[in-house]
Amino acid sequence: MAQYVAIIEDAGPDEAVGVWFPDLPGCISGGDDVDEAMENAPEALAFYAQELVEDGRQLPPPRTLDELKADPAVADDLAKHRVALIEWPPLTEVTE
C-alpha cells in the first residue's frame, strides 16, 4: 500500500487548516481543525485519483519523506509544517 506525504498548514486558532500533497499538484484538502483536515485528506486524494483516471492518467508514485526533503521546492515546507502519511488506496471499513 502506498503512502503519500501530506503537508498540514495550520494557520492559527481562528483559521482553517490546509492539507496538500507535494507529489499531487492541485490536490488539496482542509478543515476547521487538524483532525477534520486529516479526515478529509483521503477523500481529496480519492477525488484527485478519479479525475486522473477520467483523463486516462494514473497517480504518480509517491516519493518517500527523505526524497521530498532532498527536493528544494518542498524542503522548506516540510521544515515549517507538520507532515502526515495518507494511505492509498484508502483503507475501507468492514461492514457486517
Adjacent-strand bridge partners of 2: 88
Q: What is the mean pLDDT of residues 71-80?
A: 95
Under the banding of pLDDT at 50, 70 and 90, the label for residue 15 is confident
Q: What pLDDT score does 96 carry?
A: 47
* Burial zone of 34 (CB within 10 Å; 0-12 exposed, 13-18 middle, 19+ buried): middle
With contact defined as beta carbons under 8 Å apart, do 70 and 29 qualify?
no
Q: What pLDDT score does 89 carry?
A: 80
User: What is the C-alpha separation between 3 and 66, in angstroms, rounded?
Assistant: 13
CA distances to 5, 23, 26, 45, 60 from 52, rounded to whole Å, are 18, 13, 12, 11, 10
Q: What pLDDT score does 10 carry?
A: 85
Q: What pLDDT score does 14 carry?
A: 78
Backbone phi, psi, residue 34, to 5°? -60, -45
Rounded to two decimals, what is the model's pTM? 0.86
- pLDDT above 80 for 91: no
**pLDDT tens per residue, range 33-75:** 999 999 999 999 999 999 999 999 999 999 999 999 999 999 9
